[in-house]
């Protein structure tokens, strides 16, 4: 038993031991299991990490592949560009080569031509040198000829110098003669002026107008066939006019008559406005010295009165009125230096049928009644309601004249040819005052374009009452003008005499300018036409009557205040 008990105790101890071992094994297993799970966790973590790393690697790899692809594409395109550039470069080079080849070709052509030129020049030179040799021989011959001529020339020169001496002597003689002639001319002028002084202050000029194309029946007619036989024999003083007329007597015989007239100056058809003015400029400017000056244009219609007085539009054709005005302004300007101050006024009137019209006015013609008033104290004349315009410049006067002209032509549409049936009187009054000496002067310049002097056939116009009245008033005023001038002449000779100024409006208007203190010029205008010969003779006789008159010696109107 004890042995069984010890065997049981042993068994038990073994069992315990085994149990303990089992338990240990179990613990050990647990540990191992735990360890295993740890390891598997670790493996799991590792797996995950590897997977992640793998993914990253994959991603990086892809990126690198893309980058590499891009780079490849870039490189490809760059290469393509470079290739293109290279190709273009090659083409350019090829073109350059072509151009150079062309240039070379041209140069070769040029060279060829130059060579040709050189060869031609060479042949020319050889020709020239041949010619030079020929010329040299010729020159030699000429040289000897020249020597011969030189001798001849020397001979001639000697002759010339002796002739020159003779010429000089002749020239001296001529100069002496010229001097003598000049002195004679001065003496003649002096005498001429003396005669003028003695003659008094009426001058008569005669001017014959040229034959106009409109005077001829056709442009082919020679002017001479229409002209009257008029001659101007006085080539020196131009004072004579000779008119020849031929008429048939009752017995059918041709009767020739020659009429001789003398005036202060006769102007031929070729004479210019400037030449006529030259003769009257001193007279015109004497109004600045205080004289009253009257210039009348007398003659039949169409004889050139208006041409002489007013003239044409150009500087060379302008007439006596614009020229005289210009001259007066010029003289007044020059006299300023001597202390003279001038005031100028203008008036332009028309006398038609013994009625005065104001050519510078605005009213209707023949409506306003203008009266002539004389002031015996100042010897001045005034026309009521007539415009007196202060004058500043020749240009202003020219425009005034144009206004007057247009007024006249407007009136002419109402009544035919009014300007040739009326007198026009342009008056420039000039009063001066010398600031140094206190002298005063009053003068006037009257420029009158008279109505046509033709005698109208009274029976022919009797049917027309207006025409008859016109004719009568023209005849009356022109003969009144003649009478006044004639009476003034007689007064000069015999002393006091009644002067019939009142017989016409014209003479009454000009009373103060037609007295002993005035200078008067009548320009007789003549037509050159044979058809007007009788009328011209009548005019010449009238003018001769005026010319034989003297109005004493003109006196300046100068007062000292
Ligand atoms: N000296 C002259 N030179 C050129 N033409 C002139 C001359 N005198 C007059 N005439 C011309 O003759 C024509 C008649 O002249 P005009 O002056 O009208 O005459 P009036 O006034 O006497 O009737 C006009 O055509 C005018 O231009
Ligand atoms: Mg006229």
Q: 3-state SS of 45-90?
A: HHHHHHHHHHHHHHHHHHHHHHHHHHHHHHHHHHHHHHHHHHHHHH
Which atom of ligand 1 is nearest to 273's Cα?
1
Ligand 1 mean position to 493 CA, how many Å? 37
| Least confident stretch, 11-15, 296-300, 328-332, 459-463 | 459-463
Pick the residue with more confidence: 556 or 61? 61
pLDDT at position 559 is 55
| Residue pLDDT, tens place only, 21-34 | 899 899 999 999 99
Ligand 1 atom index nearest CA of 449: 21
Ligand 2 centre to CA of 523 (Å) is 13
Ligand 2: centre distance to CA 274 (Å):
19
pLDDT at 490 > cutoff 70: no
Counting ligands in written order, the one closest to the CA of 527 is 1
Segment (H or E) for 95: helix 2-199
Which ligand neighbours the alpha carbon of 305 most closely? 1
Quick count: other Cβ atoms within 10 Å of Cβ 23? 10
Residue nearest to atom 16 of ligand 1 (CA): 304
pLDDT mean across residues, the chain: 87
489 or 469: which leads in pLDDT:
469
The pLDDT of residue 513 = 86
pLDDT band at 198 (very low <50, low <70, confident <90, very high): low
For position 192, what pLDDT does the model report? 56
- pLDDT tier for residue 415 given thresholds of 50, 70 and 90: very low
| Residue 302 is labelled as binding a ligand | yes
Q: Which two tokens stand for residue 268?
A: 């031929």
Distance 190 CA to ligand 2 centre (A): 36
Which residues are CB-contacts of 166 (< 8 A; sequence separation ≥ 6)? none
306 is annotated as contributing to ligand binding: yes
405 C-alpha to ligand 2 centroid (Å): 11
pLDDT value, residue 187: 76
Closest approach atom of ligand 1 to CA 299: 22
Q: Can you tell me the mean pLDDT for 320-327?
A: 93
Place of tokens 């001017």: 207
Q: Which ligand is nearest to the CA of 422?
A: 2
User: How does residue 178 score in pLDDT terms, banded at 50, 70 and 90?
Assistant: confident
Q: Which pLDDT value is given to residue 11?
A: 86
Confidence of residue 461 (pLDDT cuts 50, 70, 90): very low
Among the bound ligands, name the one nearest to the CA of residue 271: 1
37 CA to middle of ligand 2, Å?
Answer: 156
Indicate the SS3 state at residue 131.
helix
CA–CA separation, 177 vs 183, rounded Å?
10
Four-residue CA torsion sign, 466, 472, 473, 478: positive
CB 542 within 8 A of CB 482: yes
> Best mutation site among 269, 300, 302 for ligand 1, i.e. most ligand atoms within 8 A of its Cβ?
302
pLDDT digits (tens, 9 = 90+) for 254-300: 888 999 999 989 999 999 999 999 988 888 888 888 888 999 999 99
CA of 211 to the centre of ligand 1 (A): 10
Report the residue among 206, 209, 318, 447 best suited for mutation to probe ligand 1: largest number of ligand atoms under 8 A from its CB: 209
Q: How many CB atoms lie within 10 A of CB 393?
A: 12
| CA atoms of 344 and 413, how far apart (whole Å) | 33
Tokens of 343: 């005031």
Contact 264, 544 (CB under 8 A): no
- DSSP annotation of 561 reads -
Which pLDDT value is given to residue 55?
A: 94
The answer to whether 304 is annotated as binding is yes
- The protein residue whose alpha carbon is closest to atom 1 in ligand 1 is 209
The number of the ligand 1 atom at minimal distance from the alpha carbon of 207 is 1
Three-class SS state of 218? coil
Tell me which residues have their CB closer than 6 angstroms to ligand 1.
209-210, 212, 299, 301-307, 420, 452, 525
Provide the pLDDT for residue 493.
54
Q: What is the arithmetic mean of pLDDT over 533-541?
A: 93
Is residue 299 annotated as involved in ligand binding? yes
* Ligand 1 nearest atom to the CA of residue 214, by list position: 25
Q: What percent of the chain has pLDDT over 90?
A: 58
Residue 309 CA to ligand 2 centre (angstroms): 9
**Average pLDDT of span 94-121:** 95
CA dist 47 and 381 (Å) reads 150
Residue 525 scores a pLDDT above 90: yes
pLDDT score of 482: 87
Ligand 1 atom index nearest CA of 271: 1
Question: Does residue 458 or residue 54 have the better pLDDT?
Answer: 54
Contact by Cβ (8 Å): 288, 342? yes
Region class of 353: left (phi > 0), else alpha (psi between -120 and 50), else beta:
left
- Residue 269 alpha carbon, nearest atom of ligand 1: 1
Please check if 252 is assigned to a binding site. no
Q: Which of 98-112, 200-214, 365-379, 542-556 has the highest mean pLDDT?
A: 98-112
Rounded to whole angstroms, how far apart are CA atoms 553 and 532?
36
Q: Which residues surround ligand 2, an ion (CB under 5 A)?
A: 305-306
305 known ligand binder: yes
Residue 193: the pLDDT is 55
Q: Whose CA is nearest to atom 12 of ligand 1?
A: 304
Given a cut of 60, whether residue 341 has pLDDT beyond it is yes
Ligand sitting nearest the alpha carbon of 405: 2
Q: Are 468 and 462 in contact (CB under 8 A)?
A: yes
Average pLDDT over residues 32-54: 93
Is residue 400's pLDDT more than 80? yes
In the numeric block, which tokens belong to residue 251? 């017995």
Residue-wise pLDDT for 493-511, tens only, equals 555 678 889 999 999 999 9
CA of 305 to the centre of ligand 2 (A): 5
């Amino acid at each position: 038993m004890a042995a069984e008990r010890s065997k049981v105790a042993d068994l038990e101890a073994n069992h315990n031991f085994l149990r303990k071992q089992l338990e240990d094994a179990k613990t050990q297993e647990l540990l191992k299991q735990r360890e295993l799970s740890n390891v598997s966790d670790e493996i799991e973590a590792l797996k995950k990490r590897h997977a992640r790393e793998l993914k990253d690697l994959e991603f990086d790899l892809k990126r690198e592949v893309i980058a590499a692809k891009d780079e490849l594409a870039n490189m490809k395109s760059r290469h393509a560009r470079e290739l293109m550039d290279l190709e273009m470069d090659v083409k350019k080079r090829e073109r350059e080569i072509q151009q150079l080849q062309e240039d070379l070709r041209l140069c070769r052509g040029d060279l060829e031509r130059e060579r040709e030129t050189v060869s031609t020049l060479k042949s020319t030179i050889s020709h020239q040198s041949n010619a030079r040799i020929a010329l040299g021989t010729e020159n030699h011959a000429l040289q000897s000829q020249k020597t011969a001529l030189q001798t001849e020339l020397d001979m001639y020169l000697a002759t010339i110098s002796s002739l020159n001496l003779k010429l000089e002597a002749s020239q001296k003689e001529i100069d002496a003669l010229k001097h003598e002639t000049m002195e004679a001319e001065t003496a003649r002028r002096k005498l001429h002026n003396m005669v003028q002084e003695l003659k008094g202050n009426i001058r008569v000029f005669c001017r014959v107008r040229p034959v106009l194309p409109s005077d001829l029946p056709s442009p082919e007619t020679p002017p001479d066939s229409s002209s009257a036989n008029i001659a101007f024999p006085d080539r020196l003083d131009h004072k004579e006019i000779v008119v020849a007329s031929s008429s048939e007597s009752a017995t059918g015989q041709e009767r020739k008559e020659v009429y001789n007239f003398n005036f202060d100056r006769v102007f031929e058809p070729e004479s210019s406005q400037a030449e006529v003015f030259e003769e009257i400029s001193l007279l015109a400017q004497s109004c600045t010295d205080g004289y009253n000056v009257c210039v009348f244009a007398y003659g039949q219609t169409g004889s050139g009165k208006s041409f002489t007085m007013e003239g044409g539009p150009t500087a060379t054709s302008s007439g006596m009125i614009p020229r005289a005005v210009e001259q007066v302004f010029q003289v007044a300007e020059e006299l300023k230096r001597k202390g003279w101050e001038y005031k100028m006024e203008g008036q332009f009137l028309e006398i038609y049928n013994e009625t005065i019209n104001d050519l510078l006015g605005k009213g209707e013609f023949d409506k306003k009644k203008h009266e002539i008033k004389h002031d015996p104290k100042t010897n001045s004349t005034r026309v009521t309601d007539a415009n007196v315009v202060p004058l500043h410049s020749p240009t202003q006067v020219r425009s005034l004249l144009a206004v007057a002209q247009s007024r006249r032509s407007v009136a002419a549409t109402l009544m035919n040819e009014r300007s040739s049936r009326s007198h026009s009187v342009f008056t420039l009054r000039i009063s001066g005052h010398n600031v140094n000496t206190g002298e005063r002067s009053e003068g006037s310049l009257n420029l009158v374009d008279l109505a046509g002097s033709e005698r109208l056939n009274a029976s022919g116009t009797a049917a027309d009452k207006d025409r008859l009245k016109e004719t009568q008033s023209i005849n009356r005023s022109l003969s009144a003008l003649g009478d006044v001038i004639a009476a003034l002449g007689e007064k000069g000779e015999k002393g006091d005499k009644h002067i019939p100024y009142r017989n016409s409006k014209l003479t009454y208007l000009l009373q103060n300018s037609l007295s002993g203190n005035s200078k008067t010029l009548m320009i007789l205008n003549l037509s050159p036409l044979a058809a007007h010969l009788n009328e011209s003779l009548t005019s010449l006789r009238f003018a001769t009557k005026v010319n034989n008159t003297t109005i004493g010696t003109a006196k300046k109107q100068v007062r000292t205040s």
